[in-house]
Amino acid sequence: MAGGKAIGCGMAALTVVPVSAVLAITLLVAGLAEDEEAQRLEQASCVVSADTRGDPGAAPGDLQAVPNGWGPLVEAAATEAGLPASVVAAQLNQESGWNENATSPVGAQGIAQFMPATWAAYGNGGDPLSATDAIPAYGRYMAALKTDVQAIAGGDANLLVQLTLAAYNAGPGAVQQYNGIPPFQETQKYVSSILDTAQSRFSMDCTAPTGGKPWDGDLGDGEWTTPLPGGKFTSGYGQRNIPGLPAWAQNHVGVDIATPGAGSGDGGTVVAPTDLRVTSFLDDDNCVIARENGDDPDFVFAFCHLNSYAVEPGDELKRGDVIGVEGNKADLGAVITHLHFEIYRPEAPDKSYPYNNFNIDPEPILKEKGAWPQ
């Protein structure tokens, strides 16, 4: 049994076996070891090799390296659970190594390592040794765990993923008791290991498997915050005359904001100016497309030229959540590092793209919302 865990072995409602007996949780709360694991939770390592990149045309964050044609099952389970697909794949990989016939000394079975009592509740009468039955059941079970710990996350999508994994490992009761990831070295290592594997093995381009941590800098006192904290306005909306640019690019349909001194490498942190829902990516110009997540007809935003993303389609972001890193990647070739930011009218489609004829000038809107870069 990969990872030494079994679904249903924690302190879930249907199980009464003591956590210490079944999970063998190491209760050594030595400060140094736990601090190291806590730091690993903050930023997973990421080394992408050629054999994990998968389809070069896939969108950033797409699921990679799932064997036996089970990718659609994993995607569906991720949707059911409300978790990133890369995290679901990493957890199943850790639990069973994709072995449908895996068993454990404590009675866990199958690719998702269900205990009999938990399978009875979530298996819908299927076969725990069949991936086509067990992976959907896994999605249902993880959705229940996520609900159990959701209030503790306080709206932080990144933390909610971690707490759900911790609830699987140590039981939702332990997460509730400690109001967060329990101070068990094994649980912290379990969570960080899955996030590492999700990012390095199952995501095409090292895209982080969650919505990113909220920006911890100054968000300002406006209704919105600037999409590039610390950035300066460098180019406005409308016609311009910049040597070397093609004619279409001279009619600028967004605004440019740049971090002073960034040059041509990684720039500053790009954040959600308001609550958003990520809808799509545009690979050619390294753009994240997102729509306002409100009750009224909502604007659509494009955050372009990013050097890296920290989100996936479907992520719901709060004001200040990290979107990615300001960069110089553009379909025009190498450019000076900056954020090209566009706003589209509410009737624009979710899967929008830059220069799509729905553009409106972002400057007066950002100024009205108190988010214009200073």
- pLDDT band of 75, cuts 50, 70, 90: confident
- Residue 7 is predicted with a pLDDT of 52
What is the C-alpha to C-alpha distance for residues 225 and 293, in angstroms, rounded to an integer?
15
Structure tokens at 67: 């064997």
Question: 3.30.565.10, 2.102.10.10, 1.10.530.10, 3.30.470.10: which CATH number matches 2-200?
Answer: 1.10.530.10
Whole-number Å distance between alpha carbons of 280 and 294: 18
| Ranges 2-16, 194-208, 256-270, 315-329: which has the least confidence | 2-16
Confidence of residue 332 (pLDDT cuts 50, 70, 90): low
- pLDDT score at 14: 30
Name the nearest CA neighbour of 4 among 137, 134, 138, 97.
Answer: 97
Q: Which CATH number fits the domain 232-368, given the four candidates 2.40.128.20, 2.70.70.10, 3.30.572.10, 3.40.640.10?
A: 2.70.70.10
Q: What is the mean pLDDT of residues 330-342?
A: 80
Domain ranges of the chain: 2-200, 232-368
Give per-residue burial for 164-187: e unless 16+ CB within 10 Å, then b. Answer: bbbbbbbbbbbbbeeeebbebbbb
pLDDT at position 65: 75
Q: What's the pLDDT band for 204 if we cut at 50, 70, 90?
A: low
What pLDDT score does 221 carry?
Answer: 80
Over the stretch 260-293, which tens digit does the pLDDT of each residue have?
888 877 888 999 999 999 999 887 778 999 999 8
* Least trusted range by pLDDT, from 33-37, 128-132, 217-221: 33-37
Q: 195, 44 in Cβ contact below 8 A?
A: yes
Smallest CA-to-CA distance from 102 within 114, 91, 85, 90 is with: 114
Q: What is the pLDDT of residue 285?
A: 77
- DSSP assignment of 57-85 equals TSPTT-B----TT-HHHHHHHHHHHTS-H
Provide the pLDDT for residue 46: 45
Q: Is the pLDDT at 69 greater than 60, yes or no?
A: yes
Beta-carbon neighbour count of residue 103 at 10 Å? 16
| The pLDDT value given to residue 197 | 82
Q: Could you report the per-residue pLDDT of 12-55, keeping only the tens digit for each?
A: 333 322 332 223 322 333 344 445 444 444 443 444 333 333 33
Is the distance from CB of 325 to CB of 306 less than 8 angstroms? yes
CA proximity to 326, closest of 263, 371, 374: 263
Cα separations in angstroms, 307 against 188, 269, 279: 30, 10, 19
Instruction: Report helix angle 157-170 to 131-153, nearest 10.
Output: 120
| Out of 201-210, 215-224, 260-269, least confident range | 201-210
Query: How many Å apart are CA 146 and CA 94, to the nearest integer?
Result: 19
Annotated active-site residue 42? The verdict is no
State the Cα–Cα distance between residues 238 and 252, nearest whole angstrom.
Answer: 5
Predicted TM-score (pTM) of the model is 0.49
The pLDDT tens digits of the residues spanning 150-162 come to: 899 887 777 888 8
Q: For the chain, how many helices (H) and strands (E)?
A: 11, 13
Residue 216 identity: D
pLDDT of the residue at 42: 44
* Chain-centroid distance, C-alpha 293: 17
**Which range, 72-86, 143-157, 173-187, 251-265, has the best average confidence (pLDDT)?**
173-187
Q: How far apart are CA 129 and CA 239, in angstroms?
A: 63
Secondary-structure percent of the chain, ordered helix, strand, coil, rounded to 5: 35, 15, 50
Highest mean pLDDT among 13-22, 26-35, 75-84, 228-237: 228-237
Give mean pLDDT, residues 108-114.
95
Average pLDDT value for the chain: 79
The catalytic residue among 95, 100, 312, 342 is 95
